Structure 1
């Protein structure tokens, strides 16, 4: 029992590596653990999100999804500094999501871009001082989803209560799992460490700029599902610039393939079973370790939600066009920042959190 529990704590990539290195009964055992992990995680996601929506309304489903991702992340990975300071930082991050989500739809576009850029940069500084921990994707995704899904004025208080509940829950997780983490490192150290000559700080700037430009571009074009453009830019802008181009190609092909496959399934699957396409995509995500596979399967959940609003053809077109726009913005930001770093900011100081 203890062995199966330990296997369930590993990532799909780790389990796949173990499956490849063992034979016979052990291979079957680890494979079973991979499948069980995936089923349990999907079941917990459905339970958590359904309960959250019941308590705070489907209008706050973006907070349900975002907080679920943060919950899973904080279970294993801290902010890499003292836990009491981490709780303060968490409160700041969730407050930014709340207030920018209210202000972004009503302020002038230029001010909206500045708000998103500043909030994203501060969020990344507070949660992702060490990019190797992987917090950047979790908190950027949650920010985009929550801020990009505004609510009407009558529901603002409910949204505030939802985020306050998330704050309490995640603070308890931080205390439970990370109360002895980095006791000598404080939030003030993280803030003072920001330096544009550091690749970590430059990546934080690049990611915040890329996502904010993508969201503003979608807003200027009045593109439905603006968050898709932000997600695409976010997923491409890795700390390691030399990984960006291969990842962009995988995202491009994955979105094309996933969108076409979804359209084909919607034509072939009987209407009464079409509801299962999204959950099946989620189940597949837990079994897939490579980025191309994730890009394909993510289309299932995204298009399942968009299909009811826009129809099949429009949803597929929006998925492809918004992703292409986000990828193009990410590549442009990478090129500009790489040029700036190489020509103006490069110093002898190494950045062990990013340098390979």
Structure 2
């Protein structure tokens, strides 16, 4: 169970010993997850190089998610789809390194769209954010030479590991649904299809904005845009609140990082990441999670931009990403309404009565 489920059980019980047991379980769960992350990501980064730590992080997220959330079609076909997803992450990095911004826009849009079609059949399960995050993390840290060869080997290793978990956990499910059925079912006129296109187009455009504006850590613009565009269905109605929570979490988390950096020696700040990760194990709030995420992001950026520069950049990039996500949502809403109004007369002509 995640923090949402455990807190719901804590609130539902009136027995003190049961509350204590659930909170203890939440603590153990959080500590074990962070410990596994340190071993998994640290070990792979040591073997395949620090330049490939992004792919190790993406693989860690996929490994944890895929045990709970299948893709919605036959497991053997899902293994093929997973191979494409990991290959897309690697190829996105090649495009980012070799191609101009506008062609990269098209590559990012196409690859993210296909990834969403392959893995996000049920958007409410959260797969979309996990895989788009992984794509951004890997593609926006391109490598070449020996590091690229190591990245390909690591991608193969992660595919084997995640495929083994996928087959073990979901073998026998969705036997009558094949990969080609999922691809054929995609439609830009459906609510899910429109959401997938909006998300992929918004994230790709956000990356382009960061690139054209010459923003350091422009990928933060993409993360912020993705985070705001993720909600699907009824959850999407709270867009203004989600945008405010994203900005609020980033501002609070960045300022807290700056404050702690004044009293914590530079050599001890490496602990910020694990401590924030453990704290996230207790959080079920979107804004709180955003604040805690700042510690890991700023810890990586501090060595390049310093504390004050990293904090300023974090807030600035996120404000741009959130503002663009809001504008993107408004634009897509207008286009959807315009398309619906254009189709309405034709629909009325062909179906004059709904009671037939």
Aligned to 2:351: none
Query: How many residue pairs are counted as aligned between the two chains?
Result: 340
The CA deviation at 1:60 is 0.4
Aligned to 1:208: 200
Q: Could you tell me the TM-score, scaled by structure 2's length? A: 0.93
1:44-63 paired onto structure 2 within 5 Å? 44-63=36-55
Aligned to 1:68: 60
Aligned to 2:76, which of 72, 84, 101?
Answer: 84
Q: Which has the larger radius of gyration?
A: 2
Equivalent residues of 2:58, 2:137 under 8 A apart: yes
1:185-334 paired onto structure 2 within 5 Å? 185-237=177-229, 238-240=231-233, 241-334=236-329
Aligned to 1:137, which of 110, 121, 129?
Answer: 129
Equivalent residues of 1:252, 1:323 under 8 A apart: yes
The CA deviation at 1:341 is 1.7
Aligned to 2:158, which of 146, 166, 169?
Answer: 166
Q: Describe the superposition over 1:119-139 as per-residue Cα deviations: whole angstroms up to 9, x where unpaired.
A: 000110111122122110110
Unpaired runs of at least 5, structure 2: 345-356
Aligned to 1:340: 335
Q: Describe the superposition over 1:62-116 as per-residue Cα deviations: whole angstroms up to 9, x where unpaired.
A: 0111110000000111101111111111111111111121122211211010000
CA, structure 1 residues 96+272, in 2 after alignment: closer, same or farther (shift >3 Å)? closer
Equivalent residues of 1:197, 1:341 under 8 A apart: no
Q: Describe the superposition over 1:259-297 as per-residue Cα deviations: whole angstroms up to 9, x where unpaired.
A: 111000001223443222222111111110000100110
Aligned to 2:30: 38
Aligned to 2:95, which of 98, 103, 108?
Answer: 103
Give the CA RMSD over aligned residues: 1.5
User: 1: distance between equivalents of 2:189 and 2:267?
Assistant: 56
User: 1: distance between equivalents of 2:340 and 2:33?
Assistant: 43
Moved more, 278-287 or 118-127: 278-287
Aligned to 1:354: none
User: 2: distance between equivalents of 1:323 and 1:27?
Assistant: 37
